[in-house]
Amino acid sequence: MAAPNLSGVLPRVLIVSRRCVRKNKFVDFVGEYHLDLIVGYGAVPVIVPRVAGVHTLLDSFEPIHGVLLCEGEDIDPSHYEGAEAVASTGLSPEELDEIRRLHASDSAVDREKDSIELRLAKLCLERNIPYLGICRGSQILNVACGGTLHQDVERELSKSSRGAVATVHMNYDNYDGHRHPVRVIEGTPLDRWFRESLEEEKKEIEVNSYHHQGVKRLAERFVPMAFAPDGLVEGFYDPNSYNPEEGKFIMGLQFHPERMRRSGSDEFDYPGCAKAYQEFVKAVIAYQKKINSSATISHAPKMDQELEKKRKIIVRSFSLAKNLYETRQVSPFKEEDLEAGAEFLESNTALSLQQEQRLKQVGATVRNASSYLKKLKMMEEKEAMARKLMRKMSVEQLSELLSFYHMMGQICSDVLQIRTTAA
């Protein structure tokens, strides 16, 4: 039987199920609103069952064109702060017991689900697969990138926030009807999606809330999109991995836009509520086209083994230099590992002027590693001073500063690109 032509198949979005007990048996489920929106915008939801061992079988779910992670229990704190996580909250054992009693259905950690979802999140980050995290899914994304979580938002923020407005993040008596305001940050995707519903001065929308945990320290790669009155981050994204038309989408929302509907109706609270799913699926479709296009390119002639070996050595040399140049993280390496890239630069004449200039920037790092390390030490000292200063700034000041430097970075990148091309 001939293999199907995958270029004509709708893109696949993986969604991990949540386990519950029904009639004394475990049942896996996914909220239907998620499935309706994914199908409605042109993709196929593929449910990954939360059963033992599935985290070792994720290769069997390929091809993966997108991942949507949503509801679930609290994430095991060992994934982000280890044994210090609970101690650092300032909560007493009695308070922690009260939290577990009050939020019994959420506070029971599901380690299998944690394992499946963290692996999927990291896979998306490694391969730039579109990712949308809703509620717990946003927390998974933050933890996968090195961020941390509050063990209980309302109790922790009430102790640490001076002058902040107390916010109710979970109301069991008015579960689907409860709303609280969030302030949307200008220039973010959330701002564009809800623009017609935002007042010019307040920049606020009312969102639902079904969680007692939330982002404590936002991972460095992310930019906040919205804040609750108590300062909690209610939405964030990676601006360097956001361009739905090009298949790029990495985002987390603490609230549930798919459930923000008027009482007794399927009509959304705001026209922008479905936009997260619409733009996510747009990115999923573009990503599928991109990988299908790569797969259909005619096979290049195979290199002989010796040439392939040389190619891998040169690629590794530039990878080490790139890591040193861009991330400032020094990994153990041998001098000959870096010399291969330097020799390639000196002997190669087939590159364009633009390519040669860019590669020589990295090559200079290879040949002058000792002087670069001195500069790196100076940068670390400056970074320490900057961190000390920023700890004294408010959440709003930090958010505005982050947005400003992201804008300036984009401008610098554009100008540099123009000058490099013109050279």
Residues serving a catalytic function are 135, 256, 258
Q: How far is the C-alpha of 25 from the C-alpha of 12, rounded, in Å?
A: 29
From CA 70, how far away is CA 253, in angstroms rounded?
A: 10
Whole-angstrom CA distances from 368 to 323, 338, 343, 371, 388 are 15, 11, 14, 6, 31
Q: Which residue has the tokens 């702060």?
A: 81
| Euclidean distance between CA atoms 243 and 254, whole angstroms | 21
DSSP per position, 3-24: PP-GGGSPPEEEEE-EEEEETT
Contact 50, 102 (CB under 8 A): no
Whole-angstrom distance, CA of residue 160 vs CA of residue 165: 12
Kindly report whether the peptide bond that precedes residue 63 is cis, defined as omega within 30 degrees of 0.
Answer: yes
81, β-bridge pairs: none
Distance CA 163, CA 157 (A): 11
